[in-house]
Chains A and B, each alone.
Chain A
Amino acid sequence: MTIQKYIEAVEKADSADLLLEATEALAEQKDPAAIPTLIEILGYNNPGAAVAAVDGLIDIGEAAVPDLLDNLDDYNYGARAWTIRAFAGIGDPRALDLLLKAASTDFSLSVRRAAARGLGFINWSKLPLEDILPAQKRILETLLLVCEDGEWVVRYAAVVGLQALLEEKSEDSEFVKQILEKFQFISKKDPEIAVRGRALMALAKINYPNFV
């Protein structure tokens, strides 16, 4: 089957189940020609298909970034959340400003959640050497603030993002110190037991890398 046939199958799908099936099949092709269709699916009200489309876009990777940036829909919060998830999964530094802003200020908690996690997984090899440290400092500053978000799941995601950043910066004593202090604090003081547990897991992973 040509990629065009897979795209047609998505366009013809007239039920939620058919759309899901067609999206999964299209996403599996990992073909950049599928990008516009996969992006369109993010705006449909079909969470199953949106998950498959996000996975497909992440597999395609940086080739999808320009179209994703062009199509950021300010008015459809659902589509925006899925787009940020795609950026978070691709980890392309071109989306860094967007992720920083989304993690700390977006209206929707699922967008803040996805962005907070994504900030820990930026592909630094895509950035000029001299730009890396300043960008990482901005991420650290933002994620430390996001640890105070009113929603437990956003704080949880910030811990996950910080853990990934710490693994990236394990040689930089200033990063290590600030992040470890934050984890210690969260593991004792966060009001949600699930967030305290996640901070404990991050600490265990750092102290005993083979434990987790």
Chain B
Amino acid sequence: MQQEYAEFGEPESLTEEVAIARLLQKKDLGQRYYAAWWLGRFRVTTAAAIDALLLALEDSEDRAPDGGYPLRRNAARALGKLGDKRAIAPLIRCLDFPDVYVREAAAQSLETIGDDSCIAPLLKLLAGGVAAAKQVPGKPHLVQPYEAIIEALGTLGAKEAKDEIEPFLEHPFPKVQYAAARAMYQLTGNAIYGDILVKALAGDNLQLRRSALIDLGAIGYYPAGEAIFNTLAENSMKLIALRGLLEYQLKKESQTSTLSRESIKLMQLMDGLL
């Protein structure tokens, strides 16, 4: 019911030195995987931590049964959380790596770090458009991590990507459509794209409604407030989405000393979900 992964079990407490040592050793792969996650989770931004994670990003020892590279995936995610600019070029190189989940983690981390130099390499992955965006036979995923790529381009404000992204509104996977709507709203500010996500809140699949909630929170689309309040999903998720809307409003009005009608309306909706 309530998705609260973070609450189940305290993570093992390491120190920075222990985590880095565990990440650099080669004997216990499980320890390396956990240490990479730990450094990101606890925001260890020292040069030594970044160096160790950049090394882990080149690892070929840790292999999953599907041929994937779990340690690289975790290292890529952690580098996004740490936000160090030194990770940009190595993460861009990951966008050409064979493991799709490494490419996905890299795209998400480049989105978080927020440097324009990754726009062109991200755009390259959309080559072939919707026609090329097919599912890999026998796998749940598409040939590229389209959601992550499109969301990153939207967050980075890559206006030059509009023409490439727009056709993805018609992709057969709803989550890819939502990613396109989210990015198009960020790039154009046009309400038709925000309204696509609002409409998704009335769909009959809970996973997709949750996905639309996350997207609306990310773009802070104020007109979605009532629809978020009313959609059938966990209150925790609705509150997080409404907080996203509220943050946009409050940041807009931070120069003035009074709260706007819009902010008050959003907080009244949130009060009703506690």
Residues of A within 8 A of B (CB): 17, 20, 45, 47-48, 50-51, 77-78, 81, 88, 107-110, 113-114, 116-117, 152-153, 156-157, 160, 192-194, 196-198, 200-201, 204, 212
B1 touches A160 (CB 8 A): no
B259 touches A160 (CB 8 A): no
Q: Which residues of B contact A212 (CB under 8 A)?
A: 264
Q: Which of B232, B233, B239, B246 contacts A197 (CB 8 A)?
A: B246
B246 touches A201 (CB 8 A): no
Shortest beta-carbon distance from A155 to chain B in Å: 11
A194 touches B250 (CB 8 A): yes
Given A113-B274, A152-B243, A193-B247; A201-B7 close (CB under 8 Å): no
Give the number of A-B contacts (CB < 8 Å): 72
A78 touches B2 (CB 8 A): yes
The verdict on B271 contacting chain A, using a C-beta distance below 8 Å, is yes
Once bound together, how far apart are the Cα atoms of A135 and B27, in whole Å? 58
Q: Which residues of B contact A48 (CB under 8 A)?
A: 232
Q: Which residues of B contact A45 (CB under 8 A)?
A: 1
The verdict on B204 contacting chain A, using a C-beta distance below 8 Å, is yes
A193 touches B267 (CB 8 A): no
Closest to A106 in B: B7
The verdict on B263 contacting chain A, using a C-beta distance below 8 Å, is yes
A153 touches B236 (CB 8 A): yes
Q: Which range contains the number of B residues in contact with the other chain?
A: 20 to 34
B227-272 contacts to A (CB < 8 Å): 232-236, 239-240, 243, 246-247, 250-251, 258-259, 263-264, 267, 270-271
Given A78-B1, A193-B251, A197-B246; A20-B274 close (CB under 8 Å): no
The verdict on B163 contacting chain A, using a C-beta distance below 8 Å, is no
Q: Which residues of B contact A200 (CB under 8 A)?
A: 259
Q: Which residues of A contact B232 (CB under 8 A)?
A: 20, 47-48, 51
A197 touches B259 (CB 8 A): yes
Q: Which residues of A contact B271 (CB under 8 A)?
A: 117, 160
The verdict on B4 contacting chain A, using a C-beta distance below 8 Å, is yes
Closest to A114 in B: B274
Given A110-B235, A114-B274, A152-B243; A198-B267 close (CB under 8 Å): yes
The 8 A-B residue pairs with the shortest CB-CB distance, nearest first, are A78-B1, A48-B232, A117-B274, A194-B243, A157-B274, A197-B250, A110-B2, A194-B246
